[in-house]
Chains A and B, each alone.
Chain A
C-alpha cells in the first residue's frame, strides 16, 4: 500500500525540456495555469493542449507514461464532472429521479474536467523533467527577490529538500510500524471509516514521535556541519540562464497571451 505513493517522480533523460533552467519551467507552468483559468472556450483549450503536447513530445518521455500521472486524481476529476453536471442550472436534458442533467451542466462538467487534466499534466511534466534539487534551487532563486519583504526563500527551499529527503525514510518506517502493530493484532483493513481512522492511532503516534526525534537529531547534525541559514552560503550547483531558456519563455508568453486575448469571453 505504502509503495504506491510516489512524489517528485523525476525521470532522468537528456532532452531540451530536461535541460531548461528550472526557473524557466516553473515560470512557464505558472503562466499556463493562469491561462487555463482565463481562457473560456474549448478552442482555446485545444490550443493549450496542443502546446502542452508539443512540450511532452520534446521531453522525450513516453506520452502514455506522462498520462499515467492523471491516475491518482481520476476520482477527483470524475467527482468534479458529476457535481457540475447535476448542480448547474440550465435547460434540462435528462431527469434521473430528483436529479437533473442540464445542458450548461454538461458543458461546464466537461470543461472543468479538461481544465483539471491539463493542470495535472502541466505540473507533472515539470516534476517529471526536473530533479528535486534543481526544482528546489529554482524555487529558492525565484523567491529570492522577495526576501526583502520577509519571504523566507531559503528556508522554504531547505524545507522542501528535507521533506523530499525524508519521504522515503518515513514511508519505510510507516511500513515497519504497520507490520509491528499487525503482528500484535492491530487491524488496518476492516471496519467502517470511523473505525479505520481510530485504528490508525497506534500507527500515527509512534510515527510522529519518531519523526520528531529524527528532526531533533537532524538539526544537531546540521549545526555540527556549520549550518546557519543562508547567510554566506554558496551552492555546489549553479543555475545558468541560457539562450534556449529565454527563447522558451518568450515563446510561452507569446503563445499563452495570444490564446488568452483571443479566446477570453
Chain B
C-alpha cells in the first residue's frame, strides 16, 4: 500500500538552520494493515505521516502510494483520494456548516455526481455512527463526534488507507474510546489500511504492528507484544509502557507465572485465573 525508501526530509527553521525531521526511513505498509506509529514530540512521526498523502514530498528518497510516486505532481489528487488524512484538532478540519455537507466536501472536490455523493455521504456517516446527526451544526457536537465526522469526510472519498495524526490527543476518554472503536471497526470490517500516529500506548497496543520513531529514524518495528515487552528499551526512549505490561514484568520477576509481554487487562485476568 505504502512503500518508503530512504526517505529524508529536511526542514528549514526560521533561523535558517537545517533540521532533519526524517532521516533515512525505509518502510513497507501492506494493504489492510493496522500500524501504530509512536515516539515522543519531535521524533519525526508527524512529518513521516505527511509524506503518505503528499502533503510533504521527500527531500531525498522516494515514497510510493499504491504504486504511484508522491513526487509525481500530476497524480497528486489521485494519491490524496487513496490516502485520507485525519488531523489532531477536530475543529480545524471541518469545513462546512452541517455534518452532511462536510462529509460531502471531499467527493464534491473529486467531481462525483450529486446522486453518488448522497449515497457516499449516507454510507460514510453510517460507518462512523453519525447518521442521526447528518443535519446538525458541527460546533454543537462533542470532540469525539467531531472527530468521527472528520473520519466520515475522509471515508466518503473511498480511500484505501487512512492516516490519523494524533486524532485523540484533544479528546476526553469517552471521545478517545469512540474514535479508536471506529478506527478498529473500519480496519477489520472494511479492510481499510490504517496508520495511527499516537502517544497513547493503550491505543498502540490495539494495532497489528507498532513502529517506534526516535530522531527521525525507525528504532523499533514489530508486533505490539514484541515492542512493548522491551520495557527497558522503551524507557530509554522516554516512552511509556502500558501499565499492565509493567505490572506483568514485575510479577514475572517475583515468580508469578504471567508472561512478561501481557498487554491488556483481560489477558492478565485470564492468565491469573488460569493458574
Contact = CB atoms under 8 A, between A and B. Distances in A.
Interface string B141-165: 0000000000001100100000000
Contact of A236 (B84, B89, B93, B108): B108
Contacts of A95: none
Given A224-B53, A228-B77, A234-B108, A165 B94 contact: yes
Interface in B82-117: 84-85, 87, 89, 91-98, 100-101, 104-114, 117
Interface in A155-178: 161-162, 164-165, 168-169, 172
A98 interface: no
A238 B108 CA distance: 12
Interface in A197-242: 213-214, 217-218, 220-228, 232-238
B114 A234 contact: yes
A227 B98 contact: no
B139 A172 contact: yes
A214 B93 CA distance: 9
B158 to A, nearest CB: 12
B96 A133 contact: yes
A224 B81 contact: no
A234 B112 contact: yes
Interface in B101-138: 101, 104-114, 117-118, 121, 137-138
Contacts of A234: 107-108, 111-114, 117
Contacts of A224: 53, 55, 80, 84-85, 87
A161 B101 CA distance: 11
A132 interface: yes
A133 B93 CA distance: 18
Contact of B87 (A168, A221, A233): A221
A25 to B, nearest CB: 18
Interface residues of B, number: 39
Interface residues of A, number: 29
A59 B117 CA distance: 31
B55 A236 contact: no
A139 B85 CA distance: 31
A218 B84 CA distance: 15
B110 A226 contact: yes
Given A168-B139, A224-B55, A224-B84, A217 B93 contact: yes
A225 B96 contact: no
Contacts of B77: 226, 228
Contact of B117 (A165, A221, A223, A236): A236
B65 to A, nearest CB: 13
Contacts of B91: 169, 214
A144 to B, nearest CB: 16
A3 to B, nearest CB: 13
Given A133-B101, A235-B114, A236-B108, A226 B95 contact: no
Contacts of B112: 234
B113 A236 contact: no
A165 B89 contact: no
Given A217-B89, A225-B106, A236-B121, A165 B111 contact: no
Given A220-B55, A224-B84, A234-B114, 13 more contacts: A133-B98, A165-B96, A165-B97, A168-B137, A168-B139, A221-B93, A224-B87, A226-B109, A226-B157, A227-B109, A232-B111, A234-B112, A236-B100
Nearest 4 interchain pairs by C-beta = A221-B93, A236-B104, A217-B92, A168-B139
12 contacts: A132-B97, A165-B138, A169-B139, A214-B89, A217-B89, A217-B93, A222-B105, A224-B80, A225-B84, A233-B108, A234-B111, A236-B107
